[in-house]
């Protein structure tokens, strides 16, 4: 109920077709514990030891906790220690989901250690039948809070109370 209320407040605060200033959004379901392991499954993996990268292609599925990300192409850049992931770059269509909340975009950048996420290109966030869309989303998956920037559109579908 609290998630729905936070989402409703975020949507009400963002008039339909809001201007380029940006809109804050709260998606507590799209939170993840960055200390949890990251699992990647794909059709192909190419590793470059020289520059510390790994490229997964074909039906890529990434999970961390309850969060799932699907994409066509994922590049992982390792930190200086070559043991932890500095950032993940997904492109070729990105879909993320956790519970009843989901997000999609053309590409995304994620830093697993900090939980910072940037989604670009035709970004759509949904919670049940409600949605908010725009060209750029920056979000903390630690807190579930973020900002949609550019020309923002919000569609709020209220839940009707049962009639007596």
Q: What digits encode the pLDDT tens for the residues 89-126?
A: 999 999 999 878 899 999 999 888 888 999 999 999 98
CATH architecture for the domain at 2-155: Sandwich (2.60)
Q: What is the DSSP string of 20-60?
A: TT-EEEE-GGG---TTSPEEEE-SEEEEETTTTEEEEEEEE
Residue 31 and residue 143 in contact, taking contact as beta carbons nearer than 8 Å: yes
Global confidence as pTM: 0.75
Listed by start position, the domains of the chain span: 2-155
**3-class SS at 87?**
strand
Residue 68 and residue 61 in contact, taking contact as beta carbons nearer than 8 Å: yes
| Chain segment 38-95, per-residue pLDDT in tens | 899 999 999 998 888 999 999 999 888 888 999 999 999 998 887 788 999 999 999 9
Which H or E run includes 156? Answer: none
Higher pLDDT, 135 or 142: 135
């Amino acid at each position: 109920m609290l998630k729905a209320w936070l989402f409703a407040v975020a949507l009400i605060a963002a008039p339909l077709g809001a201007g380029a200033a940006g809109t804050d959004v709260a998606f507590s379901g799209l939170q993840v514990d960055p200390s949890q392991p990251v699992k990647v499954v794909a059709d192909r993996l190419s590793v470059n030891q020289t520059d510390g990268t790994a490229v997964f292609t074909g039906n890529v599925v990434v999970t961390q906790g309850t969060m799932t990300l699907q994409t066509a192409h994922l590049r992982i850049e390792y930190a200086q220690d070559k043991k932890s992931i500095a950032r993940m770059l997904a492109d070729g269509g990105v879909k993320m989901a956790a519970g009843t909340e989901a997000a999609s975009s053309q590409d995304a950048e994620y830093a697993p250690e900090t939980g910072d996420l940037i989604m670009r290109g035709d970004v759509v966030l949904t919670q049940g039948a409600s949605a908010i869309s725009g060209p750029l989303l920056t979000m903390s998956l630690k807190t579930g809070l973020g900002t949609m920037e550019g020309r923002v559109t919000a569609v709020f579908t209220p839940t009707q109370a049962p009639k007596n």
